[in-house]
Amino acid sequence: MTVQDAATVGDLAGRIRPDFTLGVAAAAFQIEGSLTADGRGPSSWDAFAEKPGAIVDGHSPAVACDHYNRTDEDIALMQDLGVDSYRFSLSWPRIQPGGKGPINQQGLDFYDRLIDKLLKAGISPMVTLFHWDTPLPLEHDGGWLNRATAERFAEYSAAAAHRFGDRVAQWVTLNEPVSVALQGYALGVHAPGRRLLFDALPAAHHQLLGHGLAVQALRAAGVAGTVGVANVHSPVRPASKRLADGLMAKAFDLIFNRVYADPILLGKYPKPPLQVRPWFRALGKVRDEDLKTIHQPLDFYGLNYYYPSRWPRAAATEPPTGTPRT
């Protein structure tokens, strides 16, 4: 770092208000490695990563950043950065290898140690319950296309709440459910690699139902921290004034933004324009009690923002809008 760089960083730091929380974030599957340590079971992403061509250059998640073995070093780096909060995800298959049934105490112990170390370092723990790593046995039963996965998620969330609820400052039920449904079940570029297009919408609904059930489980356990959800949203604009472009922009806004935000915040699904309504038929008739469950009072609504979207795309050379790189 040059003297000029140091001055720029110092100037930026001086602009941060004292009450601003500066945080960093990561996902268990992306950083932990040690995929079979302490009884961890396989996830949908383990299976997806083994498919030839699924991961760039054939990289393996077996080691990743080796966070499982380097937590002390990683926390020291956060301290050096002056970080106030660390948002990390719990690995569902590390805590409950089968996605249902017995809880793996060794998995809980790992996160117990991590949380205690963070608190000792003066860093506030923010826990995400699901960052895309569905236990593989549940994926074999349909994953988020199966309504039962939402119920299993609530049971796992309750176990985490009872173990860590006294020390976690913020709880995030789901991270980017739209990415799981759109990229994982509709387009097949993420785990589990399904290509169902609009028939992937049940995966959206069941994740939202899982969110609501998880919020109820956290509240029932009496967690001390605040409770919310985090999704990715993108402002959508038509590429031109043509009617067809406007219709495509509205459809993408629904599939990427409002199908998730409206049930959580308003307690109802948006009504698609008549011309595209058949595309959304996979949502079917939603039960009123489901919407009540999804529409839980929250302490915060987290927003992951990458860039705006323009539909349809003006040129084939542009990156796919609304598809964040990971």
Instruction: Quick: pLDDT tens for 190-210.
Output: 999 999 999 999 999 999 999
* Total Cβ atoms within 10 A of residue 314: 12
CATH number of the domain residue 94 falls in:
3.20.20.80
Residue with tokens 């001086």: 14
CA quadruple 167, 134, 69, 110: dihedral sign? positive
Domain count for the chain: 1
Q: Residue 57's pLDDT band (boundaries 50, 70, 90)? A: confident
Instruction: Quick: pLDDT tens for 266-296.
Output: 999 999 999 999 999 999 889 999 999 999 9
Q: Is residue 322 part of a domain?
A: no
pLDDT score for 12: 77
Per the structure, the complete domain to which residue 295 belongs is given by 22-311
Q: What is the largest CA-CA distance in the chain?
A: 62
pLDDT score for 188: 97
Overall average pLDDT of the 22-38 stretch = 96
pLDDT score for 321: 42
Distance of CA 130 to the CA centre of its chain: 6
Q: Residue 1's pLDDT band (boundaries 50, 70, 90)? A: low
Mean pLDDT for all residues in the chain: 93
pLDDT score for 7: 62
Instruction: Quick: pLDDT tens for 220-232.
Output: 999 999 999 999 9
pLDDT score for 266: 98
pLDDT score for 324: 37
The token pair at 302 is: 């987290």
Type of residue at 109: D
